[in-house]
Every structure is written in structure tokens, then in C-alpha cells.
Amino acid sequence: MGRWSLLRWALQLLKTLLLRIMCHFRSELHSSYTAQSLQIVPKYEPIPRIKGLPVLGTLLDIIAAGGAPNLHKYVDARHRQYGAIYRERLGGTKDAVFIASAQLMRSVFQQEGHYPQHPLPDAWVYYNKQHACQRGLFFMEGAEWLHNRRILNRLLLNGNLNWMDAHIERCTQQLLDKWRGQTAQAALLGEHYELPQLEQQLYRWSIEVLCGIMFGVHVLSCERIQDALTEFTQIVHKVFEHSSKLMSLPPRLAQLLRLRIWRDFEHNVDEVLQQGAAIIELCIGAQQTQEQALYQRLLAAAVPAELIRRIFVDLVIAAGDTTAFSSQWALYLLSLDSQLQQRIAQERALGESQLLHGLIKEALRLYPVAPFIGRYMPQDAQIGGHFIEKDTLVLLSLYTAGRDPAHFEQPLRVMPERWYQSDSQQTHQPHASLPFAIGQRSCIGRRVALKQLHLLLGKCAAEFQLQCLNEQPVDSVLRMVTVPDQTLRLALTLQTKSTCHNC
Ligand code: HEM
């Protein structure tokens, strides 16, 4: 080899080495893009970080602010202090990023990946693991989730869902008939009728609607199913109480210490899953095959019967409290405004009521039953001008976003008109209210729930005058979902005949 070719070979080697070093440096920089490296790359705006204690994070601050029941308000206060995006470690080992602006929330959904991953309550995950329990859609991940989600999207979200209407109508009318009969009796004594155990009644109604959609309303006339549903409503209702008590304690520790809160939770979930499965068996036995309900549709889509059972139990659990509490909030808002009740009744007599639509949107905006939606970022992401590393838990603060004056003018006022499609003066940002989330992992029951809410609220406005009897203003607390801080006391009187049309 000559001198020149030796030199060329040495230069080539040097170039290759340099390239390798640069590539290595670049990939290091990319993969370990921590807050430290953010300082090297000034184009990202830093995210305000709230300092906490080692291990405990800011848990003590949360406890001082009222603990888990007030978490939505605690986070709301943080947003007011630190802005639409900030980091905080509420406990555990990792920060979560909280986001409350319409634009940033949208950006998170756009980058949620093919298999969006949401945080699951620790107690439930631990229970499923301990009992080797396979669960429905909410707990599924990856390809299994996507496969089943696509099937359910076709049946519950997309296209024409009119087949559900008769089932929802029958269940809702039964509830309204009961209320009307009792209101008429009270009227004979010159009294109003105060709805007893409203929470339980709405719970029962939302579970019945779901059974109707799954197997046809016919099954609800079976006495054994009615008895089983009565028992099931009571126990499923307690799941959320037990789970919320475990929210600030690692379930493994609670189990090791044999704490009562864990034993109660475990016993309760055992019962719910067993009873739920038993109801499904009863319904399968009692259904009429010519009734085209969800069960037959899933069988026709080649979903194995065992998987259908798994999916159904979790649909019932997911539907029960979300729909029951959203309708409670909407009834509460309706009961505060007698003029609105009349205007809705009048509009409804002529057809669709835009006001009713707006009222339901307002209830979901002000009282989102899920006040936080979580996503683990599947890769490093740029959200607005901020950098968020892969695997970070991002929590979208729906409660705050829905009450932000930057999104909604006079945010605490109930203004159904703000949702009018034709209103060119819209001053709000509709995407700041996302009660069902958006994106691939959004609520599969959105259209079912909205159909239910429209029917119930519309019929109530048409048939009754509603009045709220609570003496103190009703506020929200978090018990897994956002619930009223006191028993809601609603009184009914019969609507005068002139406005009662289209019942
Ligand atoms: C007003 C009532 C309801 C509200 C406000 C609501 C809200 C939500 C929200 C925000 C999510 C998204 C959670 C996330 O992204 O991590 C969700 C998911 C879900 N919802 Fe609803 N929901 C309601 C009613 C229902 C009903 C009636 C059903 C059943 C028919 C249902 C079944 C589910 C299921 C199975 C998921 C998990 C979806 C998945 O992981 O792919 N929901 N819901």
C-alpha cells in the first residue's frame, strides 16, 4: 500500500469514527432528553414544576387541602397559580403533567399513539392480578384492546343507532310513569313529590337501560332479573365508595396489613363480578332471539361468548355511575331555573330542543364526572412549546378547562345558548369541554349516554315542574367520579296541561 493510499485510508477511518461518535451523541441526546438537556435546547419552554418531598411528593399538601375528595379543586387552584400546564408529583416516583388548555389537550390526544394507554385505579389492577381476573374494554391494552374497540365502535358509536331508541325509551318511560303516579298522588294532598333516593333510582335506570340495549327490554319483565338487578344496583354502587377510600394508599400495603378498607373492597368487587356474571346468564336465558340487541350483534361479529360476558360486566360498571351522576347534575341545573324548564318544554313540543341540548352540555362542562383524563405519552412529545418525555403521565384537567374564562365567557353561569350551532357570536372554545374525552380511547358509551340524558331531561321538563329543595348550594366532591357533596333533594309537581306535549 502506497503512502497516499495509507493516508486516505487513515482519513476515511477518522471520518467513520467521527460520524459514529456524532451519531451516538445524537441518539444519547434524543433518548435521555431530560429536564437537564432541556437547558441545552432552549427552544422548549420549561414546564413549571411544583416541589415536593422525596417519596411523598406533595401528598401532604393534598391531604391538607381535603384529600382525594377535593383533588379536582386542589388541581384547579394549582392551575390558577401556575398556568395551563405544570408538573407535580402527587406521590410515587414520577411527576405527572397537568394540562388545562383546549389547545394543549387537543395536542395530547393527537399524540396518544395507536394504543392509547390510560391510568387505571391501582386497587383494581391489583385485584385483577391477585384474582387472575380478565376484564373488559377499559382494562384492555394493545392489540387486544384495539381489536375489540373496533368492533364496539361499529356497534355503539358509528352509524345509525336508532335500534337502541325503543329500549332506552321503554326504560325511561317506566321511570317517568312511576314518578308521575307518585307526583299525582302527592298533588291530591296539595303537596309536591320529593324524589326519594334519587341517586339509587338513577343508578338502577342506567343499569336497566344497558341491560335493555344488550339483551332487549323484554328481559326486564322477568322477576328474577328484576330481583337480581335490585341487589346488583346496591353492591355496584358501593364499589366506588370502597375504591375511592383506597385512592391514597398502595393496595398491596393495605392487603399486607389486612386493613379493613382492602377487605371491604375485595369482597365488594368479588360480589359485583359474580352478580354481574349471574345477571348476564339470566338475561341470555331470558332474551328473545328475534330482538336485535347488542348481544346478538356481537355474536354476529364473531366475538366469542366468553369475551362478550367480560365486556358486558365492565360496560355495566362503566355506565352505571357515569350516567346516573351526569343526569343528576343535569336535573339539578334544570331544577334551578323554572323558566328554562318551560322554554325546553315548549321547544320540545315542536321537535328537537336546542336548549335541552345546551343544558346537557352545560351540565357536562361544569360537572364532568371524570374530572381528569390520563394518557401515558407513547413517545417523546412536543405539546405546545413544551417538551414531554416518553411514558410521562399527562392528566387533562377537565374540571378546570370547563370553568376557565379563557374558554367560556362567564364560565360559572349556566348558559345553554352558548352551545347553539348557529350562534356566530360564539365566544367559547367548545373543545375545552371534553366530558367523554376525544380520540381513539374516548368513551364508547357516549351516544348511549347522550340518548339517555336527552330522553330523561326532556320528559322531565315536559311533564313536571322541578324544584331544588337543598338549602345550601350544592357543590361537587370526587368519589372516583364527581358527585354532589350532599343528597340532592328534588321536588316534582305536575306540569299544567297546556305545556305538557310530546311526553
Ligand atoms: C354521561 C355519561 C358518561 C361519561 C361522562 C363518560 C365518560 C368517559 C370518559 C371520559 C372516558 C374516557 C376515559 C379515558 O380516556 O381514559 C370513558 C371511557 C369509557 N366509557 Fe364512558 N362515560 C359515560 C357513559 C358511559 C356508558 C353509558 C358506557 C357504556 C355503554 C360507558 C363505557 C365506557 C367504557 C367501556 C370506556 C373505556 C373505553 C376504552 O378504554 O376504550 N361510558 N367514559
Given this model, what pLDDT does residue 424 score?
Answer: 52
> What is the best residue among 322, 394, 441 to mutate for testing ligand 1's pocket, by most ligand atoms within 8 Å of CB?
322
> For ligand 1, is residue 437 a contact (CB within 6 Å)?
yes
- Reply yes or no on domain 44-120+371-434 having CATH 3.30.43.20: yes
373 close to 395: Cβ distance less than 8 angstroms: yes
DSSP per-residue codes, 419-433? G-TT-TT--S-GGG-
Could you tell me the distance, in angstroms and rounded to a whole number, from the CA of residue 446 to the centre of ligand 1?
7
How does strand 393-397 pair with strand 96-99? Answer: parallel
Residue 202: CB within 6 Å of ligand 1?
A: no
Q: Which CATH architecture has domain 140-366+439-503?
A: Orthogonal Bundle (1.10)
The predicted structure's pLDDT at residue 30: 43
CB contact at 8 A, 26 and 40: no
Residue among 398, 443, 450 whose CB has most ligand 1 atoms within 8 A, to mutate: 443
CA distance 210 to 200: 15
Is the beta carbon of 149 within 6 A of some atom in ligand 1? yes
Instruction: List the chain pLDDT tens, one digit each, 503 residues.
Output: 455 555 565 555 555 444 444 434 443 444 444 444 445 555 899 999 998 887 788 888 888 888 889 999 999 999 999 999 999 988 777 889 999 999 999 999 999 999 999 999 889 999 999 999 888 899 999 999 999 999 999 999 998 899 899 999 999 999 999 999 999 999 999 999 999 999 999 999 999 999 999 999 889 989 999 999 999 988 887 887 788 788 777 888 888 888 999 999 999 999 998 998 899 899 988 887 666 799 999 998 898 888 888 888 889 888 988 999 999 999 999 999 999 999 999 999 888 899 999 999 999 999 999 999 999 999 999 999 999 999 999 999 999 999 999 999 999 999 999 998 665 555 578 889 999 999 999 999 999 999 999 999 999 999 999 999 999 999 999 988 999 999 999 999 998 765 444 44
In the chain, domain spans: 44-120+371-434, 140-366+439-503
Q: Which residues pair with 376 in a beta bridge?
A: 393
pTM of the model: 0.88
Output phi, psi for 365, to 5 deg.
-70, -50
Phi, psi (rounded to 5 degrees) for 422: -80, -5
The pair phi, psi for residue 57, each rounded to 5°, is: 60, -135
Q: Ligand 1: does its nearest atom lie under 6 Å from the Cβ of 340? A: no
If we measure between CA atoms, which residue out of 279, 203, 208 comes closest to residue 239? 203
With CA atoms as reference, report the closest residue to 397 among 422, 424, 425, 375. 375
> Does the annotation flag 133 for ligand binding?
no
Instruction: For 255-281, give one letter per residue: b (16+ CB within 10 A) or e.
Output: beeebebbeebbebbebbbebbeebbe
420, 354 contact by CB (below 8 A) = yes
